[in-house]
Amino acid sequence: MRAVITGALGHIGSRLIHSLKPGDYDQVLLLDNLYTQRFCSLFNLPREVPFRFVEDDVCTAQLEKYVAGSDVVIHLAAITDAASSFQIRDLVERVNLHGTRRVAQACAASGCKLIFLSTTSIYGSQNATVDENCPSSDLKPQSPYAETKLRAEQMLQLMGHRDGLRFVICRFGTVFGPSIGMRFHTAINKFVWQACAGQPMTVWRTALHQYRPYLDVNDAVRALGFIIKRDIFDNQIYNVLTTNATVSEIVDIIRACIPDAQVQHVDSPIMNQLSYTVSCEKFQSLGFQFQGSLLKGISSTVQLIRDIRQPIAVQT
């Protein structure tokens, strides 16, 4: 089997490619434009796994030549910082929507299957719990990032009917936990970094007691492998998350690891979402079992950062 991974050097991608073993694939093409300069994600890759790295951009690359002859594309390339996406709307749309269209067109032309990573951030429900069958009124993305992910979902569903594209859409919860190319603009990882650095955790003023879905990065990687192994390319949508939790619960776990961690409430462009939880029963019904936890993910991230230096000296 041959695989193409776009955005291969990011938070999820770097954890995925470092988890591969000889024999998993006949070829793994890693496609990344190095926009975030995560060169370190390429260091010490597993030996005897047939990697090929290409520095290229899904928005401009001749994707057909990369996808031709491949069995699956794991499309991770995206602009993912929801809060900052308000300032770069055009770039977010270009990458997350038009880039995804180009990847999907290349897959449809070659008969390659596609895994598309969407986000549970497209939900904005007044109901306590939402699932994949919720009414469109429960889909209220609160940022340009989430808006483009929802529009990309709709585009893929159209291409499935019109062009015969085989795909699966995974609405991932907010990813947490360590990887070589991990990011620190999302809630849990950002809070851990701040606490380890002796800075206050900057919590959105209205978010402390709101429920949101979170996904352990190891569960994310295992879910991708599960989909490929089980050939779950049924053109459906699946919520994929380890747990639902409030920011207050997350802060308590961080304080258990770092007792002197402080909280500072801040305003954010994303302030009007209501509290909700997301069901992942549909994905679990396929036989997948989530193994991560907030405690394990937070503890391992704290340990990773503390191994660099104790304490970290950060100036702002």
Q: Which range is least confidently modeled, 215-229, 247-261, 270-284?
A: 270-284
Q: Which range is least confidently modeled, 155-169, 245-259, 298-312?
A: 298-312
Question: What is the reported pLDDT for 43?
Answer: 96
pLDDT tens for 114-171 read 999 999 999 976 677 899 999 888 898 888 899 999 999 999 999 999 999 999 999 9
Across all residues in the chain, what is the average pLDDT?
A: 92
Rounded to an integer, the average pLDDT of 87-104 is 94
Question: Is the confidence at residue 52, as pLDDT, over 70?
Answer: yes
pLDDT tens for 59-79 read 999 999 999 999 999 999 998
The more confidently predicted of residues 296 and 272 is 296
Helical spans, DSSP H, in the chain: 11-19, 63-67, 89-93, 100-110, 144-163, 187-196, 217-230, 247-257, 281-284, 294-306
Residue 273 banded pLDDT, cuts 50, 70, 90:
low
- Residue 147, Cβ neighbours under 10 Å: how many? 20
Rounded to an integer, the average pLDDT of 90-113 is 96
Nearest to 28 by CA among 282, 224, 289, 299: 224
Q: Percentage of the chain surpassing pLDDT 90? A: 78
DSSP of 20-50, one letter per residue?
Answer: --TTS-SEEEEEE--TT--GGGGTTPPTTS-
Both tokens of 171, joined, read 């609405």
Nearest to 301 by CA among 198, 191, 174: 191
Residue with tokens 């258990």: 256
Residue 207 banded pLDDT, cuts 50, 70, 90:
confident
Both tokens of 42, joined, read 């390429």
Query: How many Å from the N-terminal Cα to the C-terminal Cα in the chain?
Result: 48
pTM for this predicted structure: 0.93
Both tokens of 90, joined, read 């055009």
Cα–chain center distance at 155: 19
> SS in 3 state form for 268-281?
CCCCCCCCCEECCH
* Domains, the chain, ordered by start: 2-175+215-240 (3.40.50.720), 184-211+243-277+292-306 (3.90.25.10)
- Angle, helices 144-163 vs 100-110, to 10°: value is 20
Contact criterion met (CB below 8 Å) for 52 and 28 = yes
